[in-house]
Amino acid sequence: MWKLKIAEGGPWLTSGNNHVGRETWDFDQNDAGSSEERDALDAARAEFQKNRFRTRHSSDVLARMQLAKKNNFSLDQQKPNDEATVDINVATVSEALRRALGYFSAIQAHDGHWPGDFPGPLFTTATMIIVLYVTESLGTTLSSEHRKEICRYLYNRQNIDGGWGLHAEGESSMLSSALNYTALRLLGEGADDGPDMSMPKAWKWIHDHGGATMIPILGKLWLSVLGVFDWSGVNPMPPELFLLPSFVPIQPGRLWSHFRMAFIPMSYLYGKKFVGPITKLVLSLREELHIHPYKKINWKQARKLCAKEDAYHPHTWLQECLSDCLYSFGEPFLACWPVSHMRRRALQQIADFLKYEDDISRYICIGAAQKALSMLCCWSEDPNSDAFKRHLARVADFLWLGEDGMKVRVCAGQSWDVAFAVQAILASNVAEEFGTTLRKAHHFIKASQIVDNPSGDFSRKYRHISKGGWAFQVADQGWQVSDCTAEALKALLLLSEFPSDIVGDQMETSRFHDAVNVLLSLQNPNGGYGTWELARTYPWMENLNMTEIYADIMVEHQYVECTSSVIQALALFRQKYPVHREDEIEQCIRRATEFIEKLQNEDGSWSVYCRQFYSVHINKEKVCC
């Protein structure tokens, strides 16, 4: 039976807070579970598989079953006794609220957070499988039960037409289709396998849309690493850019953090033209994925190809011109002596940079896509290194099991979820009745604050201060986020208004000050707030975005959501600590408010980045005065 483990460590792992927030799944061969548990799980799996095209997202049935059981809560008691109409009044609403919070408390983990899925792009699982296969770690890292559940997930996420979308609700794309087909083959599935002829359907979709030469540049890189694509069919990603001075706008260290931490290891792999072992399966995939014989493919032409289904951000003529120049002149020139030593130097500096990032994030990295790339770079440097062993030990942190199967999550959202959960509970009129829940959540938030800056001269490694901030997920990862810090600070300030015998002791004042320091440091000259860092380069850099599937990823842009969260947190902080950095906070709030007002649409609304956030209602005079 699968078991969800919370806040547990293991070999090759380190932690600054006893692994608070860590979630891993382990298959216990000696515990088959009760017949009721097995039946419930089988029913949930069958229900999801049956309705997967209508209900795209899973409900974490197994995790919630186990958490409720540990908290001595019966999920059956939540079912209404009848469907009779009830009067809507204070009493019935309060009762419904108590029942909802009772259930919510029952699925809280013992360390105070609420475990759950955080789905992302459908190709993320495939890239991790490719890395584990290339590094010959697939069998030792993933048990047969892991592989079985990952196959279940990939089949469940396949569209009716045989392909896979960029995300669970997306129409089929070449990137996800080719990579997921590849992953299934690496996991042991045959070309004719799968429920309802799934693999032949996937093969047909890929071939009907031009074959794998039509995959975007990200897919071209991953297939090249595997040996199913030729590096001469990939547009240049010169690692020498990393040697540029930090003041140059195109220095990779100045890019948006998520893209930076993907591009830098990608340029490393490109610079080495790294290719894994060429196995019989790899040779077979060369024939299966392409519509022309592998040795006859025009790779120079293939580097410009991209399926229309994937071309969300098509190349401009300027991008094509730059790529052609780098391909035809730049790469041959950089390969010539004595200039060739620049590549060796760039690769070594990137390797050192990635090692630093691995260490300070405790090998979690900023996200799953970046981890897969960094882990492969680490292995290419030294397959037997302790660093690679530490990377492998953290793969489990990204695996999540639901009734839809097992996937590689982009990341988790532990700190983010708890901060909002606490605010919601405190907003009810029955918060005092759920003291145990609030105490555990309070402990989690305090334990999840990042207590140190990155080690060494972190500014030379393009990192911002992090002491006092909160990550999106766990403190061990170490990447501070503006709105995660703001929402956690708000939750703690609200908790401090309740008696300690109900919610626990409040956090030390100095740590509140540290959080404010992070927030003040993250404000941009225009008054707005981005996500992880300050903007370091210029908006025109977006013209150099070659990803094809993403837009607005080169620059750390500023957002209404992040800015609004910070305003609310600082305004609440100022009520409790009115004299701490009073002038700086007042100026910060005023500038942030002006930034939001400038972005207001004619109809009074605000555009948001990636989610429907709460409405922004700011009375400037009330907040700033």
Three-class SS of residue 313? coil
Task: Note down the domain range covering 23.
Answer: 2-77+89-106
Q: CB-based burial of residue 516 (10 Å sphere; 0-12 exposed, 13-18 middle, 19+ buried)? A: buried
Residue 601 lies in a domain: yes
pLDDT digits (tens, 9 = 90+) for 308-336: 999 999 999 999 999 999 999 999 999 88
Both 608 and 510 in one domain: the answer is yes
Based on the fold, state whether residues 584 and 564 are members of the same structural domain.
yes
Query: Do 382 and 428 share a domain, yes or no?
Result: no
Does some domain include residue 616? yes
**Tokens encoding 273:** 């033209």
- Evaluate if residue 80 carries a pLDDT over 70: no
Same domain, 403 and 425: no
* Residue at which a domain ends, from 349, 384, 408: 408
Pairing of strands 172-173, 164-165: antiparallel
Q: How many domains does the chain have?
A: 3
* Judgement on whether residues 271 and 180 belong to the same structural domain of the protein: yes
613 vs 476, residue with greater confidence: 476
Asked if 483 is an active-site residue, the reply is: yes
Mean of pLDDT values over 518-527: 98
Residues 426 and 382 in one domain: no
Residues 548 and 602 in one domain: yes
Same domain, 499 and 514: yes
Output the pTM of the full model: 0.95
Catalytic residue among 452, 483, 501, 583: 483
Question: pLDDT averaged over the chain?
Answer: 94
The Cα 453–Cα 441 span in angstroms is 24
Asked if residue 435 belongs to a domain, the reply is: yes
Q: Which residues contact 437 (CB under 8 A, 6 or more apart)?
A: 101, 104, 105, 108, 425
Mean pLDDT, residues 497-504: 95
Residue 74 CB: number of other CB atoms within 10 A? 10
Tens digit of each residue's pLDDT (9 = 90 or more) over 411-470: 999 999 999 999 999 999 899 999 999 999 999 999 999 999 999 999 999 999 999 999
Q: How far apart are CA 499 and CA 204, in angstroms?
A: 64
Asked if residue 113 belongs to a domain, the reply is: no
Instruction: Return the pLDDT at 84.
Output: 65
Which among 394, 438, 432 has a CA at the least distance from the CA of 113?
438
Instruction: Please tell me the least confidently modeled range out of 157-171, 201-215, 262-276, 331-345.
Output: 331-345
Asked if residue 623 has pLDDT above 90, the reply is: no
pLDDT given at position 621 = 37
Sign, CA torsion 170/172/174/176: positive
Q: Is 117 a domain residue?
A: no
* 208-213: average pLDDT: 98
Q: What is the pLDDT of residues 368-393, one digit of tens each?
A: 999 999 999 999 999 999 999 999 99
Task: Identify the CA nearest to 413 among candidates 470, 466, 452, 490.
Answer: 470
Q: How far apart are CA 490 and CA 573, in angstroms?
A: 8
Taking the CA atoms of residue 494, residue 499, residue 504 and residue 508 in that order, the dihedral angle to the nearest 10 degrees is: 60
pLDDT tier, 43 (very low <50, low <70, confident <90, very high otherwise): very high
In a domain? residue 116: no
* The pLDDT value given to residue 78: 58
Question: Given a cut of 80, is residue 5 above it in pLDDT?
Answer: yes
Boundary residue ending a domain (375, 408, 441): 408
Residue 522 lies in a domain: yes
CATH of the domain at 190: 1.50.10.20
Same domain, 166 and 292: yes
pLDDT higher than threshold 50 for residue 490: yes
Supply the DSSP symbol for 341.
H
User: Which 8-state DSSP code applies to residue 406?
Assistant: E
Each residue of 67-76: pLDDT tens digit? 999 999 987 7
Same domain, 352 and 236: yes
Q: Same structural domain for residues 15 and 94?
A: yes
Using only C-alpha atoms, the chain has a radius of gyration, in whole angstroms, of: 25
**CB distance 157 to 177 below 8 Å:** no
Residue that terminates a domain, selected from 408, 425, 442: 408
Is residue 58 within 8 A of residue 404, CB to CB? The reply is: yes
Rounded percentage of the chain residues whose pLDDT exceeds 90: 89
Span 568-595, pLDDT tens digits: 999 999 999 999 999 999 999 999 999 9
Residues sharing a CB contact under 8 Å with residue 230, sequence separation 6 or more, in sequence order: 224, 297, 299
| Residue range 206-224: mean pLDDT, rounded | 98
Query: Do 428 and 511 have their domain in common?
Result: yes
Would you state the pLDDT for residue 429? 85
114 within some domain: no
3-state SS assignment for residue 345 = helix
Residue 81 has what pLDDT? Answer: 58
DSSP β-ladder status, 405-408 and 399-402? antiparallel
